[in-house]
Amino acid sequence: MSTIIVQDLKGDILKGYISNPDGTVMGFMPSNSISDKTDSQTSKSTVCFTFEIWQTKSSDGGTTWSSPELISTHTECYSTLTRNSMAISDGGSGGGGYEDYLNGGGNSGSSPQNYNYSLKPSEMVTLNEAKNSLASDCAAGMVISNVWGSLNFRMNSTLTTNGSFDAASNTILFRNTNNITFKTLLEELFHAYQHTYYPSGIRTFSKGKSGWTNIEFEAKVFYDIYMSRNGFNSWLGTWGFPNEDIKKKYRDWIKKLVDYGPTAELMGQYNNWLNLFNTHHPHYKGYLNDKLNATGALLDALSGCN
């Protein structure tokens, strides 16, 4: 499940969407907000949300998808008591945030507050559920068995992605509770595995440094192999590819890696796809290191799994 939040320049949330694994998309938007001051530090509000359920369908096993169709819509209103941010002087967050906003509670009428903390017990339960769902896969299970015991896990709302691996502290970070999913966890676990596999770790190839593209593409290939092997229509390696024909050829390459393993012939095509990734990916392009052969962690994780 993934979440998209739309804010205005003042930080107020205007709209949000939640994408569910079954293809439905739930949207919400604040409407009819009424506010009257109760004192200098708080304001009382009635905030209403319109919830929409949308669904896309595929008749060919996930290759093509229909346009989103509105299934149902309803409106719910909540009374809130919001403490003004200027009244907070102790550096605390003041509560609220993305989860409260999505659930209609907490400081629903205010902007999300930044937070950075070790996962709560309930979040650790969600994390372990995601871990257990991955562990049944041969390659993912091998990665987990090698890195899990040494990892730390934290929540950090300042992330610009759903998750991140911090090599300096050996920590996997999540942006919010909704991002503790097996998909987010899978890629960050592989980054942790890369950090243990390569002799110098991956800090040398961190964001904006030569080799960053190589490290990220290897992780995307591992992710895509897992998704293809386990029947999910989810692809990271094709992001930014210019047309559907190229995307299909990449998916076919991944499916062959699943069916036949990383044969010399198939791995001989690896750099062609890496170069396309370096050319077209909107975020990771431009940091390719031609001298870095970053396929070792991938091959090691896949060994014995075909």
- Residue 120 pLDDT: 93
pLDDT at 216 over 80: yes
- Residue 115 half-sphere exposure, CB side, CA atoms within 13 Å? 21
- Lowest model confidence (mean pLDDT) among 47-61, 127-141, 240-254: 47-61
Q: Under a CB-based contact definition with an 8 Å cutoff, are residues 17 and 4 in contact?
A: yes
Torsion of the alpha carbons at 117, 121, 122 and 123, rounded to the nearest 10: 40
- Residue 294 pLDDT: 87
d(CA 277, CA 206): 17
Work out the mean pLDDT of the chain and round it to a whole number. 78
d(CA 77, CA 168): 45
Q: What percent of the chain has pLDDT over 90?
A: 53
Q: What's the pTM?
A: 0.64
**Tokens read off for 280:** 């077209």
Q: What is the pLDDT of residues 64-120, one digit of tens each?
A: 777 777 666 666 554 443 333 322 222 333 333 333 333 333 333 334 467 889 999
d(CA 23, CA 83): 37
Question: CA 127, 158, 104: angle at the middle one, nearest 5?
Answer: 70
Place of tokens 């050996």: 170
Per-residue pLDDT, averaged over 290-296, amounts to 89
- Lowest model confidence (mean pLDDT) among 92-96, 174-178, 262-266: 92-96
- Amino acid identity, residue 230? N
At 256, the pLDDT band (50, 70, 90 cuts) reads very high
pLDDT at 187 over 90: yes
Of residues 205 and 67, more confidence is placed in 205
How many other CB atoms are there within 10 angstroms of residue 150's CB atom? Answer: 9
